[in-house]
Structure 1
Amino acid sequence: MRNGSGVSFGVADGVGGWVDSGVDPSLFSQALMYHAHRYSRGAWAGEPEIDPALDYEEREVVEGWEMTPLECLGLAYGGVLRERFVEAGSSTACLINLNASSGMLRSANLGDSGFTILRSSSIIYKQPIQTHFFNCPKQLTKMPRSARKFRGAVIDSPDEAQTYETKLRDGDLVIAYTDGLSDNVFPVEIMTICSLAARSGGSEDEQVQTMADRIVDYARQCMVNYRRVSPFEREAAREGMFFKGGKIDDVTVLVAMVREVV
């Protein structure tokens, strides 16, 4: 969602283990993003009027009203719980606001989806993952009515999401993704792909689309490469577990480029 005041976007990744219980894991994550979009449509005020006589420092604090990603996540989760066609399921989630008036990024992340901020060919931030234990991310969950057979299921609250905010600069790249990327591709590789795509020419819209496409393509290649050490393999080794190569999974990537309009 975007308007003159800002842009809201996010990713969600349904937990595949529900397949063993006859539940389509994609329904929960799709419904979560549907409701996040629905609530974010009313999450921004119109672009605030700023008195040109104000000093620059005073202008910076004029943002207009903004629903935070954490608030949006809570509302979206409530919407999923009320959805009749979503019987059960669970999902990780990462929601991000980019405020056009202040240049602020605000985020809420639950689980092992996440985002990275690149600035001038450097990684200035990478969202830490949230897990209960190795390969078990924190997740929003809807239990079926016959919940007795699901004792021990992981149920987390939107309030447990990690929040973050920072001031962005002209030219920054914000890359949101599911763990199908972070389990298979190292941050420095993402940075290299984006740098090469930026030199490929075309409009800025075409460049960010190229970045997203190439990142996904590379992640898919890494998933089936068992000779290459993956981030997931390294993490498994830290936990004393054996795992070789890439981890096959679905992958979603969103790329946003920040531009300051004078």
Structure 2
Amino acid sequence: MLRSPRLPYNSVVYRQLLRKSRSLNRFQANRIASARHHVKRPYEFHIGCSYAGKPEDPTDKLRKVPFPEDTLIGGWRDKMLAWPKGVPFNTAGEDFFFVQEGVSFGVADGVGGWVDSGVDPSLFSQSLMYHAHRYSRNAWAGEPEIDPTMDYEEREQIEGWEMTPYECLDLAYGGVLREKFVQAGSSTACIISLNASSGVLRSANLGDSGFSVIRGTSIIYHQKPQTHFFNCPKQLTKLPPNAGRKFARACVDAPSEADVFETKLRDGDIVISYTDGFSDNVFPVEMLRICRLLSRGSGTEAEQVQGIADRLIEYSRKCMFNKSRVSPFESQAARQGIVTVIVALVRETT
């Protein structure tokens, strides 16, 4: 497994991307847009997403104050929650996610230990995914396609317009640290980019969210969780202002501690990203069986991947509430009823 170098949060990455974007004049930008829309890509990806959060508990002592609907994050959150899916849950709970055409996507799980401090764990995960979306939409998901009619200077500028999942995670974390509405909190995260030109998957994972790559009848990659000790995952953290001794033992991990991974995908591969509500309750072999069964069904490929995502959520929830079942998390599983899954199907177009 590869590891990336440490980058500061103020981020050299952001300044580099900003310089690149400002150096392109309008004529060059139009040519870039033309290249992006007219060059046929060797790969395409069909994305499905599903989630289920716990219903509101009237006895919950935590007074939740979500991002207002008229704010950038609040409006974006509501658009993501409107994702057309078959599972009848309208909240992701402390989880959140993003899907950006290009293609990149990610999941985050707000750590619930902050509840005793009066902090809503969902604010951190929503903010982290919003900023990951915001940065990834303005950058290539890996090596870009190049218009062969461009001169050398133009090609050099576009080839430099690249953002890896690790860089995206680093920038998104910096965005959360600057977010005034998020006073404190922490979250795990898994961000993935899929390159439509090369078929390369890149990922950055911190904590016990994760992903798997299925090829045919096998799981060719399964992300291992990162933990400090049992049931304490690595996590990105924002401490409250003037944090004192009360938070002296809080886990404060950096994006540089994320596991990064890269592999070349093939036609028919299925990539599944999930929060620990899924991996704690569903064995990899069970996930494989569900994918194999539903990928043989009828319907469009977009319908198939959405069906897989919905079925994985439904099955994981059944496992959560089956008290006689020994889960991957063993008998001490914290079956909280919160789970998020993103499914991507890879197709070669040439």
Match of 2:312 in 1: 215
- The question of whether the paired residues in 2 share the 8 Å contact of 1:116 and 1:176 is answered with yes
Alignment CA distance shift 1:64-1:166 (3 Å): farther
Equivalent position of 2:56 in the other structure = none
Is structure 2 residue 176 aligned with structure 1 residue 88? no
Distance across 1 between alignment mates of 2:170 and 2:200: 21
In structure 2, the gaps of 5 or more residues are 1-98, 150-158
1:229 CA drift (Å): 1.1
Q: 1:59 matched to which residue of 2?
A: none
Letter paired with 1:210 = G
1:134 aligns with 2:230: yes
**Distance across 2 between alignment mates of 1:78 and 1:168:** 31
- CA separation in 1, counterparts of 2:310 and 2:334? 19
Tell me the residue number matched to 1:238.
Answer: none
Aligned counterpart, 1:47: 145
C-alpha contact 1:132 1:138 (8 A) present in aligned 2 = yes
SS at match of 2:282: coil
Residues 1:186 and 2:274 aligned together: no
CA positional deviation for 1:247: 2.3
Relative to the length of structure 1, the TM-score reads: 0.88
2: CA distance, partners of 1:246 / 1:228: 13
Deviations 1:202-261 (CA, angstroms, capped at 9, x unpaired): 00000000000000000001001111110000xxxxxxxxx3577234100000000111
The TM-score normalised by the length of structure 2 is 0.66
Indicate how the Cα distance of structure 1 residues 244 and 152 shifts in structure 2: closer, same or farther if over 3 A, else same.
Answer: closer
Equivalent residue runs for 1:80-229 within 5 Å: 80-148=176-244, 149-229=246-326
Q: Any runs of at least 4 consecutive aligned residues in structure 1 with deviations exceeding 4 A, and if so which?
A: none
Distance 2:334 2:226 in 1: 21
Instruction: Single out whichever of 39-48 and 117-126 deviates more from structure 2.
Output: 39-48
User: Is the contact between residue 224 and residue 246 of structure 1 (CA under 8 Å) also seen in structure 2?
Assistant: no
Check conservation: 1:69, 1:96, Cα contact below 8 A.
Answer: yes
Mark the runs of 5 or more structure 1 residues left unpaired by the alignment: 52-62, 234-242
Q: What one-letter code is carried by the residue in structure 1 that aligns with 2:284?
A: P
Q: How far apart, in 2, do the equivalents of 1:111 and 1:245 lie?
A: 17
Q: Residues 225 and 11 from structure 1, CA distance in 2 versus in 1: closer, same or farther, beyond 3 angstroms?
A: same
2:205 and 2:259 in contact (8 A); partners too:
yes
Name the SS of the counterpart of 1:258 in structure 2: strand
SS across alignment from 1:176 = strand
Alignment match, 2:335: 247
Amino acid at match of 2:315: Y
C-alpha displacement of 1:50: 5.5
Q: In 2, Cα distance between the equivalents of 1:14 and 1:212?
A: 21
The answer to whether the Cα contact below 8 Å between 1:225 and 1:245 also exists between their aligned partners in 2 is: no
Alignment of 1:71 onto 2:167: yes
Q: Distance in 2 between matches of 1:77 and 1:43?
A: 17
Is the counterpart of residue 36 in structure 1 residue 124 in structure 2?
Answer: no
Structure 2 counterpart SS, 1:231 = coil
Judged with a 3 Å threshold, the aligned counterparts in structure 2 of structure 1 residues 193 and 155 are, in CA distance, closer, same or farther, namely same
Q: Distance in 1 between matches of 2:345 and 2:238?
A: 34
Moved more, 171-180 or 188-197: 188-197
Deviation at 1:75, TM superposition (A): 0.3
Cα pair 2:100 2:133 within 8 Å, conserved: no
Identity %: 69
Distance 1:121 1:11 in 2: 25
Aligned residue pairs: how many? 241
Answer whether contact 2:209 2:276 (CA < 8 A) is retained: yes
The AA in structure 2 aligned to 1:218 is Y
Distance 1:17 1:166 in 2: 35
Task: Look up the equivalent residue of 1:261 and give its one-letter code.
Answer: T
The yes-or-no answer on 1:9 pairing with 2:100 is no
Root-mean-square deviation (CA), in Å?
Answer: 1.8
Cα deviation, residue 82, structure 1? 0.2
Deviations 1:113-158 (A, max 9, x none): 0000000121000001100001000000000014112111000000
Is the 2:280–2:333 contact (alpha carbons within 8 Å) kept by the matching residues of 1?
no
Q: Any conservation in 2 of the 1:28–1:80 contact (CA below 8 Å)? A: yes
The aligned residue for residue 21 of structure 1 is 117
Structure 2 Cα separation of the partners of residues 43 and 13 of structure 1: 24
